[in-house]
Amino acid sequence: MRASATSVLQPLAAAGLRSTVKGALLLRQLRARGDTAAAVDASAGRTLLDTTFSVDLHGHPTVIPALRSRSATAHARGIEAGGMKAIVLAAVGDLAAIGWRPRRGIGIVRSPGPGELYQSTSRQLDAMTRFVEASRFRVLRRSGDVVTGTQRNGRGVLLAIEGGDFLEGQLERLEAVYQRGVRSLQLVHYRVNELGDIQTAPPRHGGLTPFGRDVVREANRLGMLVDLAHATSEVTKAVVHCSTQPVMISHTNVREDGGSARFISREHARVVADAGGLIGAWPFSPEPRFSAFIDRILRLVDAVGPDHVGIGTDMDGLGPYAVFADYAEWPSIPAALLARGLRRDDVVKIMGGNFRRLFEAVASG
């Protein structure tokens, strides 16, 4: 489908992107020739997940209509079937301003009016809250919630916002969304906002802005996670320097021989890991093989060690570029990591232990 330069992601749903995405997915399945999450013998992964905490560091089930692969109920069933204990569910702060640009990928397609990004984000938070309630999941708010909210088959959702665009330069809005349960803020996304520069557009601020620094300090004060996915390495270094807490990059990969602009160098990854932070491996690839995603997780482990790696699926945020697209197949990830020779303890940390440590530190200040 050719999207016009003025279209945004939401109206694209009506224009048939969803059926295009489904067609592309089928094509990819054919090209993967059995190298898929579904084809893995996942029993060892299932056993491991039965008794341990695991979490998706970044996902959008039900949030982005144009990229929705299945219903909210089907996602909730997948989360339960996959033995997951929690997901970080992210609203998109710049959703009303971004879209697909022919030959240039995702980026800004229109300039939002005053208040528009705040309203859009607010509506997404409402939808996310409805999803959590309908699924009988718990919103994770305090450090102890990760344990209590997910025991005895409970499932937790950590509410997040991807892009500080909704702040529109107003710091007090961070506490307003905190009151609504938001516990993770990704500073930037696909729009160069008031906080800092992004990986997919030329730098405009020279890194983190003074407002961005204020937001990081306010997040520290409130006990919110700071997520540096999409941020440049200059922003990352500046945030790590001014933050009193470790940070995460919820979805990325270590760059080797080119690759996506959204990938990071080993040095960039180490800046976050050396400060006690966490980096989520991201199943984004034009190459549909599941084993290639497992390779990327191992590359990240090689770069920063098993104490600083997690999994950020970007569920329903990747369209046809998702290598992992069904939560029910979550056990295939630990099963594949065990099969590649990772120690069980390390797999447990990667699937959720590392996130639990990070959130408990940040939330208890």
Contacts of 236 (CB under 8 A, 6+ apart): 228, 249, 268, 271, 272
CB of 190 to Zn ion, least distance (A): 10
CB of 114 to Zn ion, least distance (A): 25
Q: Which stretch binds Zn ion (CB under 5 A): 6-14, 131-139, 154-162, 166-174?
A: 154-162
Measure the CA–CA gap between 6 and 2, rounded to whole angstroms. 12
CB of 271 to Zn ion, least distance (A): 21
Cross-strand partners of 182: 159
165 or 346: whose CB is closer to Zn ion? 165
| CA 343 distance to own-chain centroid | 25
Q: Judged by CB under 5 A, how many residues of this single chain contact Zn ion?
A: 3
156 or 317: whose CB is closer to Zn ion? 317
Give 201: exposed, middle or buried? Use CB within 10 Å, 0-12, 13-18, 19+. Answer: middle
Give 255: exposed, middle or buried? Use CB within 10 Å, 0-12, 13-18, 19+. Answer: middle
Contact letters for Zn ion, residues 162-201 (x by CB under 5 A) = x---------------------------------------
3-state secondary structure of 121: helix
CB of 318 to Zn ion, least distance (A): 8
How is residue 12 written in tokens? 């694209």
CB of 33 to Zn ion, least distance (A): 28
Q: Which stretch binds Zn ion (CB under 5 A): 150-158, 160-168, 260-268, 275-283?
A: 160-168
Cross-strand partners of 106: 100
56 or 346: whose CB is closer to Zn ion? 56
Measure the CA–CA gap between 19 and 259, rounded to whole angstroms. 27
Sign of the dihedral defined by the CA atoms of residues 1, 60, 52, 345, in that order? positive
Cross-strand partners of 159: 89, 182
Q: Is 59 in the site for Zn ion (CB under 5 A)?
A: no
98 or 347: whose CB is closer to Zn ion? 98
3-state secondary structure of 56: strand
99 or 306: whose CB is closer to Zn ion? 99
Q: 4, 26, 52, 5: which is closest to 337 by C-alpha?
A: 52
Q: How many CB atoms lie within 10 A of CB 365?
A: 11
93 or 352: whose CB is closer to Zn ion? 93
Contact letters for Zn ion, residues 296-335 (x by CB under 5 A) = ------------------x--x------------------
CB of 89 to Zn ion, least distance (A): 10
Residue nearest to Zn ion (CB): 317
Contact letters for Zn ion, residues 263-302 (x by CB under 5 A) = ----------------------------------------
CB of 171 to Zn ion, least distance (A): 23
**Under the rule (CB under 5 A), what is the footprint of Zn ion?**
162, 314, 317
